[in-house]
Amino acid sequence: MISAPSSLAAVQTLPELLALRAAHTPAGEAYRAFDPASQTWRSLNWAQTAERVERWRSALAAMELPRGARIAILLPNGLDAMSMDQATLACGHVPVPLHAIDNPGSIAYILADCEAALLVLETAEQWERIQAVGTALPHLRGVLLTQPAQAGPARSRAPAGVPCWALADWLAHADGAAAPATPPTADDLAAIVYTSGTTGKPKGVMLTHRNVVSDVQAVLQRITPTPEDVFLSFLPLSHTFERTAGYYLPLAAGCCVAYARSVALLSEDLRSVRPTVLISVPRIYERVHAKVLESLAPSRLRTRLFEAAVAVGWRRFCAAQGLPAPRPQDAQAAGAWAALPWPLLQRLVARPLLAQFGGRVRVAVSGGAPLSASIARCFLGLGLPVLQGYGMTETSPVVSVNALDDNHPASVGRALPGVEVRIGDNRELQVRGPIVMQGYWKRPEDTARTLSPEGWLGTGDQAEIIDGRIHIRGRIKEIIVTSAGEKVPPADLELAVTADPLFEQAFVVGENLPFIACVAVVHPEEWQRVARHLGLDPKDPASLDHPAARQEALARIARHTAGFARYAVPRAVHLVQEPWTIENGLMTPTLKLKRSNLMARYAAPIEALYQRATGR
């Protein structure tokens, strides 16, 4: 076992963080997970957590992998994912978290690129799909399956030299007295986290223990969870935002983390777990907001009450934060209803809405993508303390975040203590400090382009710093960030779409929206053939919007974008016949898409795509 440092300030590595927590509050509730057999939530305290991790560490040490071996973890959020991560770190190895919804081709690429020695996943079927890609994995020493019923078939189908183990067998095989591995140092890697780049191939961001621990320690100076707090973990642990803010941060503070059963059951889990801290992306707030508006639509009275509560609550929030008072016209929609007293509006509107989050959230952090001003105003006005922040995988990831007593929702807050920020060329936000990555795995050229010799990281985001607060103004990089925080390179995606003969040109959208969609120009001759096959009149403009045409187009797009992560594949399409040219202002002289012009041209159809998909 790794010995515990004397204090949080003395912690230098993530295994020391767990040792400190287990030593200081051994009986405190650490994790809560739902047990399907008993239909109840079961808990582990910190002493039990340390014992569980030690068992996994011993089993991993028994494999005698070389120090720094990469351990790929393809597991849903839960005790197994936590245990494997902690065991890997304690052995001086490097976790490589994989996205559970990623496609097999992308996962196989990452396994090969990071030279993974061990792959940990749930079922034999998952492993078979990865194998079917055909990517050579010469460094893979074994596959660990956490669902034991699936282990037998997988063993017989594994390629020569790559054994598969059921979790119980793997744990039992280890000698409990296996010699402890040499503990990691602050400068050893604590993770390689893959993120999409402009090339379309994921890049491995190398984060050290110093990077992650420094970020946790800095966040704790801005947001201060207590051992009484309960986090609900539902963002994938493959995202650095969840790893740092939803996993290592509560570990440092001694909070309980409850693992949500699934996104589908998130609403139910929010009400049963009743978390006090939420770590989320804007998409969750967007979903709740959309459901609220949908429920209000049939009733004019309830709509006016809601508008009044938001207007009055927002006015109260601005006064409490020292922000400029809202303009009178901002409350005009509520009319005379805005004269109702806040206690009444709170009882009728605010409390029922907050009950959807469990009713006792005291901190709700939103990151990964911008939260729209209207949704921020709604939730802040109704009393949900939403704090927007900014970060990226390359910064471990939190660079800045607002505070409960210094919350300016138009900004992403002030830089964390110990983190330097400045505005560089082209208004680019640059970051320097102990949170900045070591570099990209096996990509020195990409590292040199992103990190200056003086240690400044170019974020690719344009920003202003006003009164010490960071305001994000746009993006230099041509990267789409969905409201779920997924990053998608549009140029590569558009190139893949136009590989199909039906599409002459393609323009993908999804910035701060729930999923990727596409506008595509059809090839005249190919469209005539496809339309006739579908029983449509190719000369009728309405045929382009026929469900059969959209279904055929999406099927073709899916085939040609199969190599992309699942979240990057367009889920809706709008077909057009007029080509984009220099003359009509939709292409540059170098034949690049004028994205802002295209977005303006197709604003209405694009909005209709998302409304249709969400049923609004």
Task: Return the pLDDT at 155.
Answer: 45
Query: How many angstroms separate the CA atoms of 52 and 48, rounded?
Result: 6
pLDDT tens-digit series, residues 504-520: 999 999 999 999 999 99
Q: What are phi and psi of 466, to 5 degrees?
A: -120, 120
Q: Return the percentage of the chain with pLDDT > 70, whole number.
A: 93
Identical fold at 8-185+238-252 and 489-614?
Answer: no
Task: Return the pLDDT at 573.
Answer: 96
Give the predicted TM-score (pTM) of the model.
Answer: 0.83
Q: Which of 258, 239, 245, 212 is nearest to 17 (CA)?
A: 212
Q: The dihedral of CA 376, 379, 383, 389: what is its sign?
A: negative
pLDDT tens-digit series, residues 204-226: 999 999 999 999 999 999 999 99
pLDDT tens-digit series, residues 545-580: 999 999 999 999 999 898 888 899 999 999 999 999
For 104, other C-beta atoms within 10 Å of its C-beta total 17
Q: Name every residue whose Cβ is closer than 8 Å to that of residue 385 and which is 6 or more positions away in sequence.
A: 361, 362, 363, 364, 404, 407
C-alpha distances in Å from residue 54, one per residue of 51, 59, 222: 5, 9, 32
For the chain, the average pLDDT equals 91
Cβ pair 402, 409 in contact under 8 A: yes
DSSP 486-542: -EE-HHHHHHHHTTSTTEEEEEEE-TTSSS-EEEEEEPHHHHHHHHHHTT--TT-GG
- Pairing type for strands 428-432 and 189-195 reads unpaired
pLDDT tens-digit series, residues 239-270: 999 999 999 999 999 999 999 999 889 999 99
Query: How many angstroms separate the CA atoms of 518 and 238, rounded?
Result: 27
Task: Return the pLDDT at 332.
Answer: 61
> Does the pLDDT at position 582 exceed 60?
yes
Rounded average pLDDT over 93-104 = 88
Rounded average pLDDT over 149-178 = 68
* CA triple 228-229-231, angle to 5 deg: 145
pLDDT classification of 175: cutoffs 50, 70, 90: low
Task: Return the pLDDT at 369.
Answer: 81
Query: How many angstroms separate the CA atoms of 558 and 503, rounded?
Result: 13
C-alpha distances in Å from residue 485, one per residue of 333, 347, 479, 531: 32, 34, 11, 37
Q: Which of 126-135, 168-177, 443-452, 561-570 has the lowest mean pLDDT?
A: 168-177
**CATH number for the domain running over 279-475:** 3.40.50.12780
pLDDT tens-digit series, residues 462-493: 999 999 999 998 778 778 889 988 888 888 78
Q: Could you tell me if residue 134 is left (phi over 0), alpha (psi between -120 and 50 degrees) or otherwise beta?
A: left
**CATH number for the domain running over 8-185+238-252:** 3.40.50.980
Residue 413 C-beta-side C-alpha neighbours within 13 Å: 27
> Does the pLDDT at position 198 exceed 90?
no
Cβ pair 500, 560 in contact under 8 A: yes
Query: How many angstroms separate the CA atoms of 559 and 569, rounded?
Result: 10
Indicate the fold that domain 489-614 takes in CATH: GMP Synthetase; Chain A, domain 3 (3.30.300)
The domain limits of the chain are: 8-185+238-252, 279-475, 489-614
Task: Return the pLDDT at 173.
Answer: 79
pLDDT classification of 69: cutoffs 50, 70, 90: very high
Task: Return the pLDDT at 581.
Answer: 87
Task: Return the pLDDT at 150.
Answer: 44
Task: Return the pLDDT at 442.
Answer: 96
Cβ pair 167, 143 in contact under 8 A: no
> Does the pLDDT at position 589 exceed 80?
no
Q: What are phi and psi of 559, to 5 degrees?
A: -65, -40
pLDDT tens-digit series, residues 15-63: 999 999 999 999 999 999 999 999 999 999 999 999 999 999 999 999 9
3-state helix, strand, coil in the chain (%, to 5): 40, 20, 40
- Pairing type for strands 203-208 and 439-440 reads antiparallel
Q: Return the percentage of the chain with pLDDT > 90, whole number.
A: 74
Rounded average pLDDT over 307-318 = 95
